[in-house]
A and B are shown apart, each in its own frame.
Chain A
Amino acid sequence: MSRDAWKGRDVISILDFSRRDLESLFESANRFVGPPRPRTDLHDRIVATAFFEPSTRTRLSFTAAALRLGAKVIDLSPDVSSLQKGESLHDTTMMLQGYSDLIVMRHPSEGAALLAAELSSVPVVNGGDGSQHHPSQAMLDLFTVTRMKGKIDGLTYTVLGDNRYARSATSFMYGLTKFKPKMVYVVSPETLRPRDEVTKQLKSLGLRFEVRSDIEQVIGNTDVLYVTRIQKERFPDLNEYEKVKGSYKLTKELLAKGRPGLIVLHPLPRSTELPYDVDSAKSAAYMTQAQLGVPLRMALLLKILDGGRS
């Protein structure tokens, strides 16, 4: 995608972007890593954040990214807005597009960002829609791999955890379809395996992957271990959650069986699957990953709002 083709684009799914688009984004993001300098690129722009679900990293890193580029940020707080009076996504989107130049939206319904993008005259960035997509997280995850491993191609990935409901895991795997990983192991308890439509999509896009149950079998071959927590809030039946709660957990002993140079990524927040003592492991890269969220999202905002000029 050329520089101008980024301008004004919605970001709904990472599948909508080519490898070249992503590499160009990572190249831009690299320039924002390190001590921040005052910038005014977006001084005349307003970014609206509309998070209908809780968020720490996505909302704050988008906000920080916008502020670092000189933009103003307005925030829709579901608790004190007309959403409390039952205002629809349709009407909320129509208001936000009139008040801002770009909308970052998170919503519990799959397809919410796509619907908003269809309604809105300003670009919409999907900050997570139900259990479906989280494109900027996947871009950030792949950017982190690029920075820490020097490449994305040719590596073996293991995606461990809630591969059914965790949109970060799904989007990460979708993102890998744009590159040439050596192998992707998809490891989870049986009830947390990817949904049919996801495996079908991965197959149709030619991703080499195997669904496994035991992390011990694949840790020795893994270059990048991507872990997610069990998404308790998305289980239709909490009894099902109770059955898989605590069914996998990272330990230093397990990581010691990994390849030299193994890195562990996690979109956070964590639960019991990622104990705090793992933070001191050499392979723990998730805090760096979270920090890279600001430069990555700076590059993303700049590309959409300004065509990538800087």
Chain B
Amino acid sequence: MGVAAVARKGAAPPASENQTTMLVRKIPDGSVIDHIAAGKALSVLRLLGDPQENGFTIAMVMNVSSSKMGKKDIVKVEGVEITPEQVQRLALIAPKASVNIVRSYRVVAKANAVPPRTLRGVLSCTAPTCVSVREKESAPSIFFLSGRTPLRYRCKYCGRELSEKEISDQLG
């Protein structure tokens, strides 16, 4: 699954959330996605889908000071607990992101975005002569994790590596 989830019943809200309460109110239920690299919040929103279509409320804070990251973005999604699949995909856009699941103003679970070792049908190879590009109909897109910091994935067929920016650009 690639998701590290730890239940933390009744835990206090994280410090980063306290720092931003002036900007965005606490949510009673839903998901708080923290430690998103500055500027990537919009890509994370795209990952979650259209809020109007799905009927949920989203709050976004961009370019917040962070002791760990310098600057970061935060996304709060009210009334929705993001799925393990979404957390996995989140790892590709925001590898350092953490997710807090909130119920009745309490953090009940935490999940860290962990990049999956293997990705099937998620990324496209950028080598124009790779068989996964030329024989798209029958060749699956398969990538193996080849680096975490920075994030890199290696095409199974041609060995070409995708950089963190290329991965983010494809998914954003």
Chain A interface (Cβ < 8 Å from any Cβ of B) = 88-90, 107-112, 114-115, 119, 129-132, 196-198, 200-201, 234, 236
B contacts with A: majority SS: loop
Task: Tell me which of A110, A196, A201, A236 contacts B158 (CB under 8 A).
Answer: A110
**Which residues of chain A are within 8 angstroms of B154 by Cβ–Cβ distance?**
197
> What 5 A-B pairs are tightest by C-beta distance, nearest first?
A111-B157, A90-B138, A110-B158, A111-B131, A109-B131
Query: How many A-B contacts if CB must be within 8 Å?
Result: 64
**Which residues of chain B are within 8 angstroms of A115 by Cβ–Cβ distance?**
131-132, 135, 138-139, 157
In the complex the two chains form, is A111's CB within 8 Å of B137's CB?
A: no
**Which residues of chain B are within 8 angstroms of A89 by Cβ–Cβ distance?**
131, 135, 138-139
Q: A88-B135, A89-B131 are in contact. Are A111 and B156 (CB under 8 A)?
A: yes
In the complex the two chains form, is B156's CB within 8 Å of A109's CB?
A: no
Cα of A130 to Cα of B128 in the assembled complex, Å: 11
Cα of A164 to Cα of B135 in the assembled complex, Å: 23
**Which residues of chain A are within 8 angstroms of B138 by Cβ–Cβ distance?**
88-90, 115, 119
For A201, give the chain B residue with the smallest CB separation: B159
Q: What is the minimal beta-carbon distance from A52 to any residue of chain B, in angstroms?
A: 11
Which of B131, B132, B133 is the most central at the interface, judged by chain A CB atoms within 10 Å of its CB? B131
**Which residues of chain A are within 8 angstroms of B133 by Cβ–Cβ distance?**
109
In the complex the two chains form, is B137's CB within 8 Å of A132's CB?
A: no
Sample of 21 A–B contacts (CB below 8 Å) = A88-B135, A88-B138, A108-B129, A109-B134, A109-B135, A110-B130, A110-B159, A111-B139, A112-B131, A112-B135, A114-B157, A115-B135, A115-B139, A115-B157, A129-B131, A131-B129, A132-B158, A197-B160, A198-B159, A200-B161, A236-B128
In the complex the two chains form, is A111's CB within 8 Å of B132's CB?
A: yes
**Which residues of chain B are within 8 angstroms of A131 by Cβ–Cβ distance?**
129
Q: What is the minimal beta-carbon distance from A73 to any residue of chain B, in angstroms?
A: 25
For B157, give the chain A residue with the smallest CB separation: A111
Q: What is the minimal beta-carbon distance from A153 to any residue of chain B, in angstroms?
A: 27
Q: What is the minimal beta-carbon distance from A199 to any residue of chain B, in angstroms?
A: 12
Q: A130-B158, A197-B154 are in contact. Are A110 and B127 (CB under 8 A)?
A: yes
Task: Tell me which of B128, B134, B139, B161 contacts A197 (CB under 8 A).
Answer: B161
In the complex the two chains form, is A110's CB within 8 Å of B157's CB?
A: yes
Chain B interface (Cβ < 8 Å from any Cβ of A) = 127-135, 137-139, 154-161
Task: Tell me which of A90, A109, A119, A200 contacts B130 (CB under 8 A).
Answer: A109
For B161, give the chain A residue with the smallest CB separation: A197
In the complex the two chains form, is B131's CB within 8 Å of A107's CB?
A: yes
For A109, give the chain B residue with the smallest CB separation: B131
Q: What is the minimal beta-carbon distance from B73 to any residue of chain A, in angstroms?
A: 30
Cα of A251 to Cα of B138 in the assembled complex, Å: 47
In the complex the two chains form, is A132's CB within 8 Å of B159's CB?
A: yes
Cα of A55 to Cα of B71 in the assembled complex, Å: 56
Other than A88-B137, A111-B156, A115-B131, give 15 A-B pairs with Cβ distance below 8 A: A88-B138, A89-B135, A109-B134, A109-B135, A110-B158, A110-B159, A112-B131, A115-B132, A115-B139, A119-B138, A130-B158, A131-B129, A197-B154, A197-B159, A198-B159
**Which residues of chain A are within 8 angstroms of B132 by Cβ–Cβ distance?**
111, 115
For A170, give the chain B residue with the smallest CB separation: B159
**Which residues of chain B are within 8 angstroms of A90 by Cβ–Cβ distance?**
135, 137-139
**Which residues of chain B are within 8 angstroms of A234 by Cβ–Cβ distance?**
129
For A90, give the chain B residue with the smallest CB separation: B138
Cα of A112 to Cα of B138 in the assembled complex, Å: 11
Cα of A90 to Cα of B132 in the assembled complex, Å: 12
Cα of A201 to Cα of B161 in the assembled complex, Å: 11
Which of A111, A197, A201 is the most central at the interface, judged by chain B CB atoms within 10 Å of its CB? A111
Q: What is the minimal beta-carbon distance from A118 to any residue of chain B, in angstroms?
A: 9
**Which residues of chain B are within 8 angstroms of A200 by Cβ–Cβ distance?**
161
